[in-house]
Amino acid sequence: MSLAEESLPLPLYTAAQVRELDARLIAAGTPGFELMQRAAHAAWRALRRRWPQAGEVTVLAGAGNNAGDGYLVAELARMAGWAVRVLAVGAVGKLAGDAATAHQAALAAGVAVEAWSGGAELRGVLVDGLLGTGFQGELRAPYAEAIARINGSGLPVLALDLPSGLHADNGLVAEQAVRADLTVSFIGLKLGLFTGDAPDWVGELVFDDLQADPQLLAAQACAALRLAGGALPQLAPRSRTAHKGLFGHVLVVGGDRGFGGAALLAAESALRAGAGLVSLATRGEHVAASLARRPEVMCVATDSTYQLPPLCAQADVLVVGPGLGQQAWGRSLLSAVAASARPQVWDADALNLLAAGALQLPADCVLTPHPGEAARLLGISTAEVQGDRPAAALALAQKYQAVVVLKGAGSLIAAPDGRLLLCDRGHPAIAGAGLGDVLAGLIGALRGQGLDAFAAAALAVWLHASAGQQLAVNGRGLAASDLIPTIRQLLEEHAPCLQ
């Protein structure tokens, strides 16, 4: 993991929560203009580190506090001897309060301020001080034009607090947003920097709390927490007299004809993540392949629903769905699993059959939908899920009274009581078949070793994403099974088997 990722704070806020925190800091004695100055200094330091030889800055300013930050960055650049000018996309006459003071400070320092026009020349490092967290709804003229010009310029771009056009609460880009190379976020990290469309627009992320009182930060409610290595659920070490019966018997149910690999991936993942025993209930045609690949997995040819209840009774955790299919065989096995009182992980076609409404989800389940499956479970479109991923994850957890892992960039773990975690690790190289099967088996193994549903889902998502990120240095072609040994290694580093 990179030091930059681990140095970021854990709490993630909505725009409203950050505004409330800002107001609390001002009420506690830090003037708003001083906070704005601190933000400008933080941004200027980051700009100098990233582009030390640039020598020229063009600030595009709106009409709110984000513009105020931009005017003060321009002042600092001017004082450092850089060529600098501000293109006022928002009318200068609309500036008020601290933003108006910042504008006057820039003028006093000799910064050239020009009204925006479509033909304005962009030069040097472009500083996005257009909208920040103030963006809501639709982009209006002339902001849409200015953002298009920024993105088409080919010049380096620094975004202040949040790329303009990106929604601070959910990472949605409705039309377009500033595509930043570097984003410097202030006071509190915004949830929308990490999920939805955000990974394609934020670039490198730098954070500065503007010297905020830690007690005030701790007192402010947040929308979610980031998963990070120092704050993950922990498996207990094993005693030297431990035996296999202490670490859970995971039963994987799935693998209809043509899909045996999915179920075997889940079973192998559970085994390698430390489950004491792993069984696999699958089509008889897949038994030989399972024994040849992984003889430690107890593979049972399961052609009838009546064979499943005894297998469920012997297990501690059930993982159902990988390669299950939606035909009669898969439907009958899922109905038998749903009747069991064991903790369960539902993935893939188990979720599609659940969405069809023919089954009642048992208690103590983890659901692991991708956005399309989440849309079917909620009865909405995939675009609506992606338009507000945090809301979709929480809605699923509430509807099904289950822990939900909403997969995708910025995977989310939601609990029925409103807790929300976000994993900002991962890599596009792990966008491939079988990765979800590995994750499902991993969650099952962690449940079998004593973690509750929320903790198991959180640790599994982090291990899975971290393994993918570590292996993706070699680029495309990463196979799902490639992750399993690396997950095992990361789990041992995080929670050593022996104390």
Binding-site residues for (6S)-NADPHX, in ranges, read 132-138, 143, 161, 262, 323, 370, 437
Q: How many other C-beta atoms lie within 10 A of the C-beta of residue 196?
A: 25
Q: Order of strands, edge to edge, in the sheet holding 125-129?
A: 112-115, 83-88, 56-61, 125-129, 157-160, 182-186, 204-208
List, in sequence order, every residue forming a beta bridge with 411; answer none if it has no partner: 423
Which residues are within 8 A (CB) of 73 and not within 5 positions of it... i.e. 6 or more apart? 40, 43, 44, 47, 57, 59, 127, 129, 160
Q: Are 41 and 252 in contact (CB under 8 A)?
A: no
Which residues are within 8 A (CB) of 163 and not within 5 positions of it... i.e. 6 or more apart? 128, 177, 178, 179, 180, 183, 201, 202
Residue count of the chain, please give it.
Answer: 499
User: Tell me, what DSSP letter sits at residue 416?
Assistant: T
For the annotated binding site for K(+), the residues are 66, 128, 164
Cα separation values, 288 from 242, 292, 298, 481, Å: 31, 6, 11, 19
- How far apart are alpha carbons 151 and 294 in whole angstroms? 51
Residue with tokens 């449940």: 447
Output the six-digit token pair for 72: 């003060």
For the annotated binding site for AMP, the residues are 407-411, 436
Cα-to-chain-centroid distance, residue 487: 19
- How far apart are alpha carbons 196 and 178 in whole angstroms? 15
For the annotated binding site, the residues are 66, 128, 132-138, 143, 161, 164, 262, 323, 370, 407-411, 436-437
